[in-house]
Structure 1
Amino acid sequence: MAIEKYEFLTPDQIDHFMTYGWISIPTCFTESQASQWTKDIWTRLGYSKTDSSTWALEKINMPTHKSIDARSFAPKAWGAICELCGGEDRIADISRQWGDNFIVNFGNEELKGVVVGPRELDNWHVDGDHFIHYLDSPEQSLLVIPCFTDVLEDGGATYICPDGIGVVAKYLRDNPEGVTPYMARRGEEHGWHDFQWFCEQVMDSKKCNLFQQMTGKCGDVVLMHPLMMHSASRNSLHVPRVITNPCVRLKEPFNFNREDPREYSLVERKTMKELGVKGLLNWKIKGERENLRPQRENIHARMKELELRRLAGEDVGPVGDTGVEVHRELVKGLVWKAPV
């Protein structure tokens, strides 16, 4: 049913979301809550919190050990999530679970004081490496960034490209057969590198010119449109930044052809605004919805085993290479040519 009155979102926040595709909800949880939830990070990593020489990796995505219910941990954020998606009844129950799969951006000594611009980054993407993408895909209905430390300008904040929402939306509309998480059409999966399509859009000044860093205080939660292109940034402050990225899944696909326009969620309205339409009468997917098993699951399984051993007091050494870093070396260039 349509939301008749917004309890968590203000008119200004709604306007901001409809203009830029993101909003920040302040003080959704306390520093004490954040400290308690993140207290095992350093043991899990095998790093020293006070000795930056032990921070072997520039950035790391940690595996999940346990989760908390967002409704009780961050009720204000959960309320805003529900209102953006059209009501709690449209959201899958599993979406309430926020895991301790922390994303820590340390930076390093070489980067300290060096500001890296958005077009220089090699990690542009949209979330959802576990399914074939369609315009109406329910698997990733919102991007969520809870800030478990302060997230400072040029201190590892996630870079976003708000005017890229329309670029992605139009591409998905025009490819109803479905594409991979890296926007490759069926049969063309090996035609370009993972991040190539997104980086090419970002490099095109006719398509993408607005870039913003998702900064915030500890306890803030940033909410973004699911088709928001974003990238990990380089941390020039060399101060650890800790976030997570809980997934919000819908029970049913987005619907861009509702009989009652009042039933459209704010996310659906933003998608249609970017497409320049008030509805998609004849659009429907022409492929099968498919789940994928991303390589990160194998990487995280290996990482989790070592983290459990560290938590048990075993000296297995610090995290030095997760497999992700090897992959990163392959995507540092910003100009690709499709392999022959």
Structure 2
Amino acid sequence: MPAVLTADEIERFVTDGFVHLPEAFPRPVAEECRAFLWRETGLDPEDPETWQRPVVRLGGYSDELFQRAATTPRLHQAFDQLVGAGRWTPRVGLGTFPIRFPHPDDPGDTGWHMDASYTPEGETGSWLNLRSRDRALLMLFLFSDVDADHGPTRVKVGSHLDVPPFLESAGERGVDFFTLCQTMHAAGKLDSPERPVALATGRAGDVYLCHPFLIHAAQPNRGTIPRFIAQPPLIPTGLLDLDRHDGAYSPVERAVRISLGTTNDAGIHWLPDMGRRPAETAQPFDVAVTTGLSGIP
């Protein structure tokens, strides 16, 4: 069975921070899940007059239907390729679901940010650290077709490489999400114009697998139909190891090491079955790439 991700796609993940995995789970499953989520909203899919808010957020669901979406062999093989076999925990469901409706009002949640994952003892809020405690990947599961007009998540290409230097001095304890965002914004790195913007467009059943430090943002839905996605983390079995004795760094770890200047292309080590060489140049994205945009999926 051929690898789900090619060597070039893995290199693009390392340098750009994400990869688009088409048909990661069956489209009919996406349609069943979407029908379930419509019922959970209490809104009428046939009556736009009932769509009174720009975004409705639903929690997580562990029903068998969502387990089918989250645990396909295609996804699991991609997790092995990006995170490493035995280094992640299978999902038992999916969530949260930010459902974005066509609406003239500002949804009020479109700022650039990276996701946080835990709260240290004695603290409040959401935190993150250099070794990415409790998050192996950020994932975007598409449950509806999403084009450029229907509120696709925006991602700053390569921005995951900007985050580690701001986390290095915080150690294992890490830093509060808001503090990190403020610090990076003041340094011109949260919404850097040097990083192009890609749109997470695709078809129902597609999944975007993103580096846990990727900077991203929501945007309003200016289309005609609601946009349904889930944005769960992939949970790791442990922390990133940035000093492996065997050199078997995952692509997620390699990106952090590159950001910190602790590796180069000549010193890259590969996990088994992840390809045999680094690509010389990143290939074009299979998502719409835009520039000049500023500004949660």
Q: TM-score range by the shorter chain?
A: 0.7 to 0.9
Structure 1 residue 245 displacement after superposition? 1.3
- Larger Rg belongs to: 1
The aligned counterpart of 1:9 is 5
Decide whether the 8 Å contact of 2:146 with 2:227 is kept in 1: yes
- Corresponding residue of 1:41: 37
Matched with 2:157 is 162
Contact 1:109 1:238 in 2 (8 A): no
SS at match of 2:228: strand
* TM-score under structure 1 length normalisation: 0.67
Instruction: Name the SS of the counterpart of 2:11 in structure 1.
Output: helix
| Partner residue of 2:219 out of 225, 233, 243 | 233
8 Å contact 2:70–2:94 — kept in the other structure? no
SS where residue 241 of structure 1 aligns?
coil
SS at match of 1:271: helix
Match in the other structure for 1:75: 73
Could you report, residue by residue, the CA deviation over 1:180-214 in whole angstroms, capped at 9, with x for unpaired residues?
12245xxxxxxxxxx54455533444xx4321111
Pick from 229, 233, 251: which aligns with 1:266?
A: 251
Do 2:23 and 2:205's aligned partners in 1 also have CA atoms closer than 8 Å? yes
| Aligned position for 1:130 | 118
Counterpart CA distance in 2 for 1:47 and 1:269 is 45
User: Any unmatched runs of 5+ in structure 2?
Assistant: 120-126, 265-294
Residue 164 of structure 1 aligns with an amino acid whose one-letter code is S
| Amino acid aligned to 2:146 | V
1:222 to partner: Cα distance: 0.6
8 Å contact from structure 1 (residues 169, 275) kept in 2: yes
| Percent identical | 26
Q: Secondary structure at the match of 2:236?
A: coil
Any idea what SS the aligned residue of 2:208 has? strand
Q: How much has 1:137 moved relative to structure 2?
A: 2.5
SS state of the match for residue 46, structure 2? coil
Q: Which secondary structure does the structure 1 equivalent of 2:128 belong to?
A: coil
For structure 1, the 5+ residue unaligned runs are: 112-119, 185-194, 280-333, 335-340
Counting only pairs closer than 5 Å after superposition, residues 46-125 of structure 1 correspond to structure 2 as 46-67=42-63, 68-69=66-67, 73-87=71-85, 89-92=86-89, 95-99=90-94, 101-109=96-104, 122-125=110-113
Which whole-Å CA distance do the structure 1 matches of 2:82 and 2:18 have between them?
A: 10
Change in Cα spacing, 1:134 to 1:70, as seen in structure 2 (3 Å) is: farther
CA distance 1:199–1:211, shift in 2 (3 Å): farther
Q: Which residue of 2 aligns with 1:175?
A: 170
2:29 touches 2:68 (CA, 8 Å); kept in 1?
Answer: no
Conserved? CA contact 1:124–1:199, under 8 Å: no
Q: Tell me the number of residue pairs that the alignment of Structure 1 and Structure 2 aligns.
A: 253
Other-structure match for 1:246: 232
